[in-house]
Structure 1
Amino acid sequence: MSRRRLTLMVAGVLTLVLGGAGALLPVPYVALSPGPTENTLGDVKGKPVITVSGHQTYPTTGKLSLVTVAYQGGPEARIDLLTALRGWMDPTVAVVPEETIFPKAVSVKEVEQQNTQEMSSSQQDATAAALTELKIPIKVYVAVASTQKGKPADGKLLPNDEITEVDGAAVRTVDEVAAGVRKHKAGEQVRFTIVRGGKPMTVEVGTISGPSGSIVGVIMGSQFKFPFTVNVNVGDVGGPSAGLMFSLGIYDKLTPGPLTGGRSIAGTGTITPDGQVGPIGGIQQKLVGARDAGATVFLTPADNCDDAVQAVPKGLRLVKVSTMHEAVQAVDALRTGSGQVASCPAR
């Protein structure tokens, strides 16, 4: 064998080896793909997704399914270049920079904890939205979520404390509490009336200067007291995007007759306690997951319509919704065949 031929063979082998090794190198991207769907009217691992105690419920049929996005990759388990390339070639997969899902300043554990917290909050908001749609009264109050370490409230206000008054004035919202604190100059004391473990008490907390006035270093959130108990069980699903479908599932169980009329309906969207539907991410993957699960109708947040119409699979009808009320009306119209149903406009 000539020296030239041997050199070419060695170079070819090295190129293949280096190319193969390069394809297996980890890259800072995350592959998003269609995740599982869960019927909010059904069960997860043998347990109902939605259970209601203390109020009459009614039989349901059909499906009101939430949809999810699965991801592969992340700082602790990066995908390789070959996997990323396969994802870029697959229209049902989105390959996005790692920082889109895992910001550099936040750990993977913190991201997972945030997703869990958002899911828990969305379940509360969904219950509030469903009961508001049904005109069932609920009580809203301000609760302590946490305090900032080293700030005046640290150790004085505790998680789950219900704040009822600031300096003797009744408060019902987070903004009202913050406004009461800002009335003080830095260094002054604020008198909080709270309920802790069912017992009312008064706690005085000092103030310090903050970006927009005086603060005490407390993180608060709105909480609800419902007249009966609603529990939601979804296993390992996280994030806030299932809010709309939780609301519809709760609404269906609390009203006579099946809302869907036996149809398989999927959807997505965040929900506020007063029933406003917000946009979500991963709409393309969620549409594919919904169709693969047999859904024929997809409830789409109005702000996601533009992206949805470009990725909707054949056989899936997009119904545009902006509020819980619109969603109920749309599903009702689909069941009865009466009334107009808003669709995402074609581009």
Structure 2
Amino acid sequence: MSRRALTLLVAGFMVLALGVVGALMKVPYVVLSPGPTENTIGEVDKKPVISITDRQTYPTDGALSLVTVAYQGGPGSRIDLMTALRGWLDPNVAVVPEETIFPESRTAKQVEEENTVEMANSQDSATAAALTELGITYGTAVTVVTTEKGQPADGKLLKGDEINAIDGKKVTDTEMVQGTVRGLKAGTDVVFNVTRGKETLDVTVKTTQGDQGRSKVGLSMQAKYKFPFKVSISVGDVGGPSAGLMFALGIMDKLTPGSMTGGKSIAGTGTITPAGEVGPIGGIAQKMVGAKKAGATVFFAPADNCAEALKSVPDGLRLVKAETLHQAARALESIRAGKTDLPACTPR
């Protein structure tokens, strides 16, 4: 073999080796792809996704499906460059920087734990929103989650305390408590009426100076709902708050006579507040692809996601804007009636 041929052979081998090494190199990106869908009025592992006890329920039909996004990568399990390249070439997949999913300040485990908590809160908010829409009354309890060490509430208000009133005014939600405290001058005594175990007592706490000149006592709270009947939701290993809208619609469907879907396969996404406001989510493009693959013909998208959704909505999937639970429920009525004047997504 000539020296020239040998040189070319060695050079080619080195290029190939570098290519292989480069393709296997770990990169700080996450691949987002369409995840599984679950019918909120159906079953998972032969168990109802939504179970309601101590209240009459009605048969349902069709599907009101939540949609998810699957991901590859993240701290401790980074993808290789070849996987990222394949993702960039796939129109149904998104490749995003790792820190957009896993902020540097939090570990992958912490993110997963936060998603689990958000899912639980989403289920409570969805139940509250559904009952509000149906005119079914329920109670709300504001409880103490934590107190900041060294702050006025530390050692005076305890985890699990249920706050009944503040300065003699009945507590309705966490925002009411925060607003009352912030409206006082630093150094002012504020009286919390709380239930602690079986005891009800008044606890006096002095406000202190907080951020932006607003008073605080160093208190973290959580709203807990007192529903007149039990609503249980089970979807397996799914986290995050984005299924709120579909949970709420599923609960409404089970609590009302007749089928809200008219037998059609409907999917959607969006966070939900107890008042029924629908909020934006991530991964809308991948969620629409998952919905289409699952057989959905209509997709509810939060208003704030409409512009993005319009760019990648799959053929055969009708996009319907959902700003509130009420709007989504009325849209389902129109779909059942065969009407075409549905709330439409428009580019901004």
**Aligned partners of 1:152, 1:189: CA distance in 2, in Å?**
10
Q: Flag the 1:37–1:155 CA change in 2: closer, same or farther, 3 A.
A: farther
Give me the whole-angstrom Cα distance separating, in 1, the residues matched to 2:102 and 2:110: 9
What's 1:344 paired with? 345
* Correspondence for 1:131: 131
- Matched residue, 2:214: 213
Question: Are 2:169 and 1:153 equivalent residues in the alignment?
Answer: no
Which amino acid in the other structure matches residue 162 of structure 2? E
- Alpha-carbon deviation of 1:186? 4.7
Instruction: Name the counterpart of 1:335.
Output: 336
Structure 1 pair 64–198 and aligned structure 2 pair: CA distance change class (3 A):
farther
Alpha-carbon distance in structure 1 between the residues aligned to 2:318 and 2:45: 29
In terms of mean alpha carbon deviation, does 200-209 or 283-292 score higher? Answer: 200-209
- Whole-angstrom CA distance in 2 between matches of 1:207 and 1:109: 35
Aligned to 1:286: 287
Q: Which residue of 2 aligns with 1:224?
A: 225
* Residue in 2 that maps onto 1:53: 53
Displacement, 1:240? 0.8
3-state SS of the aligned residue for 1:72?
strand
| Unmatched runs of 5 consecutive residues or more in structure 2 | none
Q: Distance in 2 between matches of 1:158 and 1:46?
A: 41
Distance in 2 of aligned mates of 1:331 and 1:61 = 13
* Cα distance, 1:326 vs structure 2: 1.0
Q: What is the alpha-carbon distance in structure 1 between the residues aligned to residue 307 and residue 81 of structure 2?
A: 30
1:78 matched to which residue of 2?
Answer: 78
Secondary structure of the 2:215 match is strand
- 1:308 is aligned to 309
Letter of the 1:275 counterpart? G
Shift of 1:339: 6.9
Secondary structure of the structure 2 residue equivalent to 1:241:
coil
- Is the counterpart of residue 97 in structure 1 residue 106 in structure 2? no
Query: How many angstroms does 1:189 deviate by?
Result: 4.8
Matched, 1:271 2:272: yes
**Alignment correspondent of 1:175:** 175
Output the CA distance in 2 between the equivalents of 1:296 and 1:184. Answer: 53
Q: Which moved more, 1:179-188 or 1:218-227?
A: 179-188
Q: Percent identity?
A: 61
What is the aligned length? Answer: 347
Match of 2:112 in 1: 112
- What is the TM-score normalised by the length of structure 1? 0.94
2:298 alignment partner in structure 1 = 297
Q: CA deviation at 1:346?
A: 7.3
Query: 1:3-38: per-residue Cα shift (whole Å, max 9, x none)?
Result: 222122111101111110111111010000000000
Alignment TM-score, normalising by the size of structure 2: 0.94
**Which residue of the partner structure matches residue 68 of structure 1?**
68
The alignment's C-alpha RMSD in Å is: 1.9
Distance 2:340 2:26 in 1: 53
What's the counterpart of residue 17 of structure 2? Answer: 17
* CA deviation string 1:119-169 (max 9, x = no partner): 111111111111111011122332223223443433443333221122333
- How far apart in 1 are the matches of 2:49 and 2:256? 17
- For structure 1, the residue ranges without an aligned partner over 5 or more in a row are none
User: 2: distance between equivalents of 1:179 and 1:303?
Assistant: 28
Give the distance between the partners of 2:203 and 2:13, measured in 1 at CA. 75
Residue 25 to residue 315, structure 1, CA distance change in 2 (3 Å): same
Q: 1:311 is paired with a residue of what secondary structure?
A: coil
Displacement of 1:195 in angstroms is 1.7
Give the distance between the partners of 2:252 and 2:302, measured in 1 at CA. 18
**Shift in alpha-carbon separation, 1:16–1:265, aligned structure 2, 3 A:** same
| Cα offset, 1:92, TM superposition | 0.5
SS at match of 2:26: coil
Distance of aligned partners of 1:186 and 1:306 in 2 relative to their CA distance in 1, 3 Å threshold: closer
Structure 1 residue 180: deviation in Å?
A: 3.4
The more displaced of 65-74 and 218-227 is 218-227
* Partner in structure 1 of residue 192 of structure 2: 192
Paired letter, 1:43: E
Mark the CA change 1:295 to 1:215 in structure 2 (over 3 Å): closer, same or farther.
Answer: same
Once the two structures are superposed, residues 249-305 of structure 1 have per-residue CA deviations (whole angstroms, 9 ceiling, x without a partner) of 000000001111111110011111111111111000000000111111111112211
1:212-241, Cα deviation, whole Å (9 max, x unpaired):
333222111333211111111111111111
Q: Alpha-carbon deviation of 1:45?
A: 1.9
